[in-house]
Amino acid sequence: MSSHYDTIIIGAGPAGMAAAITLQKNGISNAVIDKSFFPRNKVCGGLVTCKTLETVIELTDTGATDLISDVFCDTDRIIELYFKNERLTCSEVDIPLYFVRREKFDFFLVKKYKENGGILFEGEKNYTVDFENKTITLGNGEIITFNYLLIADGALSPNAKKLGIKRKNTGFCIEAHIPKGDVSYPGGVKIFFGIVKKGYAWCFPSGNDICVGLGGVYKKSTDYKNILDGLLKQLGADTENTKYKGAFVPYGSSVDQSHCPDNVILLGDAAGFVDPIYGEGLYFAITSGIEAAGACITAVRSSYSINAVYYKKTEFIVKTIKKGNRLKKIFFSHPVGFLFKRRIKNKDFFVRFYCDRQISKYGYDYSRMIKLYSDYRKEKRLLKQ
């Protein structure tokens, strides 16, 4: 048996599903392959910023209220910054931060797709891809053919590897879920600097649990589990029965896709699209999925090459990552880290301004941090008047 699709997507995470749903809405035939059965777990802090929420609303045609009550697990406005265990600031932001459990969030996207007739081959562990003949043989021997192939199989991207595409997973994150009742936790988001080199630790609300984790630029010699143990003990958690889960993250290491065949593109973590400063990956995963679908639609309806259109559409992601990488070098250097601690102490309004304008909205390019700071000063002066 054989079937043909305009586009096949490998990976049903947020990047793959954003592409599949967008193609579906535009009447382009497609199918998705994933090695897992859904709902499946995925290690993730689950922070969803407002810019991501807005994108998901548009993608799935679901209202914010329904998403927040049915799919998300928590919302918060209080952000506390720490340097080691010294509290520097406590701010109440205007734009809330949202939280998801990935098994539920990813399953929501999968269900949306399937409800509208989407085809998902789940639990596919033994398929083979023939890139040259644009053919995939599934585990049961069924053959599916495609014009375009979107690879969204996550940070390790085995399929990009098969194409000989070199990648650097420069980041590593580890986390644990602790029942809220087991620690003294009044709520809020806590961010700890100075605990892990070139990164940070977090404490996020996650329904009945809190998600405590840390991550940063990967160093083989760093004992991440031991550092997380220390943080959990500081929070009063019993570390004996706690399960830790870790994974590589392509922190600011977008992949050079110029060696991809001209009908193949990479998206989400497979493309290395993760913010180099915060490690936020969901926004770029979903955005790159939508842009990848847009490139397929253009290619199907015209003679443009999918790669050229996609590179143009995702230029802003690549540029953001490049600029963020430059800023990261300065931000995580020792003297700046020290200065940061001294300067940020009690600057609650600055943290609020930064979260609302930058983290929630990407309102400033990473090369415009001086402009952000001067706007913050102006607004602060206005507030005082």
Ligand X SMILES: Cc1cc2nc3c(=O)[nH]c(=O)nc-3n(C[C@H](O)[C@H](O)[C@H](O)COP(=O)(O)OP(=O)(O)OC[C@H]3O[C@@H](n4cnc5c(N)ncnc54)[C@H](O)[C@@H]3O)c2cc1C
Residue burial 250-288, b: 16+ Cβ < 10 Å; e: rest: bbbbbbebeebeebbbbbbbbbbbbbbbbbbbbbbbbbb
Element (H, E) at 219: none
Binding to ligand X by CB under 6 A, coded x per residue (else -) over 142-171, reads ----------xxx---x-------------
Q: Whole-number minimum distance, CB 16 to ligand X, in Å?
A: 6
Three-state SS at 235 = coil
> What CA–CA distance (Å, rounded) separates 245 from 94?
32
- Is 173 among the residues that bind ligand X (CB under 6 A)? yes
Complete DSSP assignment for 128-139: EEETTTTEEE-T
- Is 74 among the residues that bind ligand X (CB under 6 A)? no
The residue among 189 and 372 lying less far from ligand X, judged by its C-beta, is 189
Supply the angle between the helices 50-60 and 102-115 in degrees, to the nearest 10: 20
* CA 350 to each of CA 82, 189, 328, 332: distance values in angstroms, whole numbers, following the listed order: 15, 16, 19, 19
* CA 245 to each of CA 144, 215, 223: distance values in angstroms, whole numbers, following the listed order: 35, 12, 14
> What CA–CA distance (Å, rounded) separates 113 from 182?
38
**Lookup: tokens for 303:** 């003679």
Q: Whole-number minimum distance, CB 308 to ligand X, in Å?
A: 22
- Is 209 among the residues that bind ligand X (CB under 6 A)? no
Q: Whole-number minimum distance, CB 249 to ligand X, in Å?
A: 5
Binding to ligand X by CB under 6 A, coded x per residue (else -) over 30-69, reads ---xxxx-----xxxxxx----------------------
Distance, CA of 32 to chain centre: 20
The residue among 226 and 303 lying less far from ligand X, judged by its C-beta, is 226
- Which of 28, 266, 285, 317 lies at the binding interface for ligand X (CB under 6 A)? 285
How many angstroms separate the first and last alpha carbons of the chain?
A: 74
Q: Whole-number minimum distance, CB 52 to ligand X, in Å?
A: 7
- Which of 5, 14, 98, 149 lies at the binding interface for ligand X (CB under 6 A)? 14
Residue pair 355/93 in contact (Cβ under 8 Å)? The answer is: yes
- Is 190 among the residues that bind ligand X (CB under 6 A)? no
Residue burial 124-163, b: 16+ Cβ < 10 Å; e: rest: beebebeeeebbbeeeeeeebebbbbbbbbbbebebbeeb
Q: Whole-number minimum distance, CB 343 to ligand X, in Å?
A: 26
**Lookup: tokens for 385:** 């008047």
> What CA–CA distance (Å, rounded) separates 123 from 310?
29
Q: Whole-number minimum distance, CB 288 to ligand X, in Å?
A: 8
Binding residues for ligand X restricted to 314-373, rule: CB under 6 A:
none
Q: Whole-number minimum distance, CB 168 to ligand X, in Å?
A: 15
- Is 213 among the residues that bind ligand X (CB under 6 A)? yes
Q: Whole-number minimum distance, CB 279 to ligand X, in Å?
A: 6
- Is 188 among the residues that bind ligand X (CB under 6 A)? no
The residue among 88 and 201 lying less far from ligand X, judged by its C-beta, is 201
Of 213, 222, 133, 204, the residue nearest 174 (C-alpha): 213
Q: Whole-number minimum distance, CB 213 to ligand X, in Å?
A: 5
Of 260, 292, 297, 246, the residue nearest 11 (C-alpha): 292
> What CA–CA distance (Å, rounded) separates 110 from 120?
8
The residue among 152 and 260 lying less far from ligand X, judged by its C-beta, is 152
Q: Whole-number minimum distance, CB 10 to ligand X, in Å?
A: 5
The residue among 225 and 345 lying less far from ligand X, judged by its C-beta, is 225
Q: Which window, 29-37, 56-64, 69-77, 227-235, contacts ligand X (CB under 6 A)?
A: 29-37
The residue among 125 and 334 lying less far from ligand X, judged by its C-beta, is 125
- Is 281 among the residues that bind ligand X (CB under 6 A)? yes
- Is 212 among the residues that bind ligand X (CB under 6 A)? no
- Is 136 among the residues that bind ligand X (CB under 6 A)? no
The residue among 42 and 104 lying less far from ligand X, judged by its C-beta, is 42
Three-state SS at 293 = helix
Q: Residues interacting with ligand X, by CB under 6 A? A: 10-16, 33-36, 42-47, 152-154, 158, 173, 175, 213, 247, 249, 268-270, 274, 279-282, 285
